Amino acid sequence: MDSVSRNNRHFTHRLTIAGVAILILLAAIVIHHRFTRRMIALVSDQFNQEQIAIARSVRKLVENSLNALEKELLQIAEQNATPIVEPERLQARLQHELERMTTSGIAQIRVWDRMAGRAWVFSRGGYVEESSPVPLHANADALPETGEIRMARPPSGGTLLDMVMMTPLGPGKQRFIFFRVNLAWLLAPLVNDIRSGISGYVWIIDDQGRFLYHPYTDFIGRSAFDVRKATYPELNFVQIDRIQKEEMLAGREGTGSYQSGWHRGITGPVDKLIAFCPIYISTTPRRFWSVAVVAPTQEIAGAVGQIHRWELVSLGLMLLVVVVAAAALIGIQLRFSRRLEKLVAARTQALKRSEEKYRLLIESAEDFIFTLDDKARLNAVNSYTAHFFGSDADDLIGRSLADLLSEDVARRNIKAVKQVYATRRSVREEIEIRSVDPAVWLNANYMPLKNEAGEITTVLCIARDITESKTLQHRLVTTEKLAALGTLAAGVAHEINNPLGVILGFCDLLVRKQPPESQAYQDLKIIERQGLHCKEIVDNLLSFARDRKISEESTDLNQCLEEIIKVARHSIERQGVTVTVSIARGMPPVCGDCRQLQQVFLNLMNNAVGAMPDGGELAIDAFFEKPSRHAAVKVSDTGCGIPEADMDRIYEPFFTTKPEGQGTGLGLSVILRLDFPLFSTRDVRSAASGCLDDALIHIFRSYNMAISGR
């Protein structure tokens, strides 16, 4: 009886232990199952947040590409705003633009003369005139104004992969220019290589729900609703249809999940995660597309499921030894957490690399790119901008334009920023940065950046350096002035030369009739000297106005220099100036006219002496530079210098710093018009006026003759 009772008790105990173990096991399985589902949900939500960040990056890529095409269209319209005369000439202008923009999706450029009812279609193969062109907008009030761009479907012969961008050519609504954009050319290079997770991909639909891009190319150009039902009629697409109709086609941003019938060549039911956001392609009229980033949920479930199997093994061990099982469970839970953290970290790192890729596109641009708030304070700057201002990007955040630009320039640009916020349109402004020498000119374009609600959140500025074009424009104006002055000088000189010759001739006759010791003789000599001085001025005027032919003869530089020094030495030393000459022997001949070279050296020496009224030292060195293979002449003086304000005027005709009657102001301007480009740098230009300590003149044998500064 005792044995039976004992066995019964043992059995009861075993049954109790087994029941408790089973209960513990069931409780653990239930808890673990719920925990696993919750973990999959959390990881899926985190993964979808990463996907929506990728969708936003794609939106920026597409919007930036469309904005770039709009700028190109406006620029071409501005450059070709003159009336159309010959399509062949217009084809020649547009050929380079077509070849350059083909990679950006431009298939054709069309020009439409609305009043004449004519249109020309330009492509890389030539142009075709349409006999009965059909406008994109029947209502003239719907046509864009000058500087505006409208987007529409093509008038005829278009496909769902075509889009037309349109803007006026010149003022009024008489002539228009169109870009015909092949959306496959535009979108495929931007999103082909984008991945979400291991096998996730991107697709884009228009505002009618038609695929503009999809990895499965048979879907492109077809309605997403129709193509699913036609391809996989046995599946239920209620979830994705609802997301498209109520969310994506309404221009909203969000995440979700749905069941698909296809993924990367795998057919059959596939559960997917989706993140989507709108792509704004036009403000007038307001139009948008929608981009979606999708990936199968099995990638998340598979990663977590592997950990799930390990936990089941640990639960079996818990039944053998509770303490060991508890310890094992804790260890496995820790391992699970670490693996999960690594998984999340890996996905986060992949997202960061994706974001970094697009950030580098901005950082590598050699333009000034930054964003501003409504107070004209910097929100973000690229590295090029920060490097230009000699600071880190973080140090510039929060600073106002008034801290970086001069007062008047900052005032104009702050006004431009406020105008963007007020008008919701882009504004162009020129920025002159005077903190560097020479000053830098920028062409800045302030553009509004809007949120999903259409409100301006910040202003993006992209500024390009136009200093070179500004300098060229100034030089062209100066050249035109000098050309006009030269023509005037030639006319005046010829008119004066004839009566001046008569005066000098009669003066010479009268001098011969007077005895040298008489007062009349002395007076006539004064008249003769002044007349000769006038003749010298007239000769300089003629030299200034005369176009010279390029000399092809060679000359001995040393002999040329020695002859002019021998002529000028006596008059220079009489003014208390010591002349030191050092000429290297064995100098090669140089290409140029000896008389013109002597005119250069004489003007340099005279100007140097003029800058030393109390005496000084003038040094002339001639030598051959072996590294550069240049013959060189160095003129040094101990002159008083020239004011910075006069530095840019020393080549102006008739400009002189000497007292009245002592200088004509034509010496350097005449030299400037000789056979070679003279004094191309500031040091030589200043030294040529006798204002700095030295000048270095290089004579290149590879050209006829060129003189440049050190």
On whether both 564 and 690 belong to a single domain, the answer is: yes
State residue 356's pLDDT score: 76
What is the structure's pLDDT at 18? 59
**Can you give the pLDDT at residue 555?**
83
- Residue 486: how many other CB atoms lie within 10 Å: 19
Length of the chain: 710
Is 59 domain-assigned?
A: no
Judgement on whether residues 502 and 634 belong to the same structural domain of the protein: no
pLDDT of residue 151: 80
**Domain annotation covers residue 333:** yes
- At residue 10 the predicted structure's pLDDT band, cuts being 50, 70 and 90, is very low
| The last residue of a domain, from among 299, 323, 351 | 299
Above 60 in pLDDT, residue 17?
A: no
CATH, residue 444: 3.30.450.20
Q: Give pTM, 2 decimals.
A: 0.42
Per-residue pLDDT band for 680 (boundaries 50, 70, 90) equals very low
More confident call, 107 vs 1: 107
610 backbone dihedrals φ, ψ, rounded to 5°:
-60, -25
State the pLDDT at residue 689: 38
Give how far Cα 290 sits from Cα of 45, 249, 283, 334, Å: 20, 7, 15, 41
Mean predicted confidence (pLDDT) in 31-37: 69
294 and 304, same structural domain? no
Higher pLDDT, 24 or 675: 24
| Mean pLDDT comparison of 237-241, 624-628, 673-677, 696-700, highest-scoring range | 237-241
Q: What is the CATH classification number for the domain harbouring 626?
A: 3.30.565.10
pLDDT at position 184 is 83
376 shares its domain with 356 = no
Calculate what percentage of the chain has a pLDDT beyond 90: 8
Confidence (pLDDT) at 265 = 73
Confidence class of residue 683 from pLDDT cuts 50, 70 and 90? very low
Residue 314 is predicted with a pLDDT of 66
325 and 200, same domain (yes or no): no
pLDDT at 334 over 90: no
CB 289 within 8 A of CB 212: yes
Q: Which of 334-338, 460-464, 593-597 has the highest mean pLDDT?
A: 460-464
CB burial of residue 510 (10 Å; 0-12, 13-18, 19+): middle
pLDDT at residue 702 above 80? no
**Which residue segment(s) compose the domain that 399 sits in?**
368-465
Question: pLDDT confidence of 107, banded at 50, 70, 90?
Answer: confident
Which range among 138-142, 393-397, 474-478 shows the weakest confidence by mean pLDDT?
A: 138-142
Average pLDDT score over residue span 68-91 = 79
If one counts every other C-beta atom within 10 angstroms of the C-beta of residue 344, the result is 15
Residue 141 has pLDDT above 70, yes or no: no
Q: Do 694 and 580 belong to one domain?
A: yes
699, two tokens: 């004579």
Q: What pLDDT sits at residue 53? A: 92
Rounded distance between C-alpha atoms, residue 69 and residue 190, angstroms: 14
* Number of structural domains in the chain: 6
For the ranges 270-274, 439-443, 618-622, 627-631, which has the lowest average pLDDT? 627-631
471 vs 180 pLDDT, higher one:
180
Q: Which of 148-157, 474-483, 526-535, 561-570 has the lowest mean pLDDT?
A: 148-157
Q: What is the mean pLDDT of residues 353-371?
A: 79
Tokens of 61: 């890529």
Of residues 474 and 445, more confidently modeled? 445
| Residue 199 contacts residue 295 (beta carbons within 8 Å) | yes
d(CA 201, CA 9): 64
| Cβ contacts of 671 within 8 Å, gap of 6 or more | 599, 600, 603, 678, 688
| Residue 258, C-beta contacts closer than 8 angstroms, at least 6 positions apart | 237, 239, 240, 243, 271, 272, 274
Q: For residues 323 and 16, which has the higher predicted lDDT (pLDDT)? A: 16
Q: How many degrees, rounded to 5, is the angle at CA 417 between CA 396 and CA 414?
A: 70
Q: Do residues 598 and 680 share a domain?
A: yes
Looking at 465, 487, 520, which one is the last position of a domain? 465
- 433 found inside a domain: yes
In a domain, 36, yes or no: no
User: Among residues 299, 320, 349, which one ends one of the domains?
Assistant: 299
Residues sharing a CB contact under 8 Å with residue 329, sequence separation 6 or more, in sequence order:
311, 314, 315, 318
- Single-letter amino acid code for the residue at 90: L
pLDDT in tens, 281-328: 887 677 889 999 999 888 776 656 566 666 666 656 665 666 566 566
Q: What was the pLDDT predicted at 60?
A: 93
Euclidean distance between CA atoms 478 and 501, whole angstroms: 33
pLDDT at 194 over 70: yes
Q: What percentage of the chain has pLDDT greater than the value 70?
A: 73
pLDDT score for 32: 64
- pLDDT for 229: 86
Average pLDDT over residues 147-175: 73
Are 181 and 199 members of one domain? Answer: no
Same domain for 159 and 255, yes or no, is no
Conformational region of residue 586, where left means phi above 0, alpha means psi within -120 to 50, and beta covers everything else:
left
CA 314 distance to own-chain centroid:
61
**Model confidence band, residue 707 (pLDDT cutoffs 50, 70, 90):** very low
Give the pLDDT of residue 691.
Answer: 39
Residue 164 pLDDT > 80: yes
Is the pLDDT at 336 greater than 60, yes or no? yes
* Same domain assignment for residues 570 and 440: no
The residue with tokens 């106002």 is 400
Q: Average pLDDT of 40-58? A: 87
Q: How wide is the angle at C-alpha 657 spanned by C-alphas 651 and 659, nearest 5°?
A: 135
Q: Please report whether residue 428 resides in a domain.
A: yes
Please indicate, yes or no, whether residues 130 and 242 belong to a single structural domain of this protein. Answer: no
Mean pLDDT of the 515-534 span: 82
C-alpha distances in Å from residue 343, one per residue of 43, 294, 310, 350: 9, 18, 16, 11
518 within some domain: yes
Asked if residue 238 and residue 112 are part of one domain, the reply reads: no
Choice between 165 and 299, residue whose per-residue pLDDT is larger: 165
Average pLDDT, the chain: 77
Q: Does residue 6 fall inside a structural domain?
A: no
pLDDT tens by residue, 405-459: 888 888 888 898 999 999 989 988 888 887 777 778 888 899 999 888 888 889 9
Q: How confident is the model at residue 709 (pLDDT cuts 50, 70, 90)?
A: very low
Check residues 307 and 210 and name the one with the higher pLDDT.
Answer: 210
Q: Picking from 89-93, 185-189, 331-335, 411-415, which range would have the lowest pLDDT averaged per residue? A: 331-335
Alpha-carbon gap, residue 257 to 269, rounded angstroms: 13
- Main-chain dihedrals φ then ψ at residue 12, nearest 5 degrees: -65, -45
Taking only Cα atoms into account, the Rg of the chain, rounded to an integer number of angstroms, comes to: 42
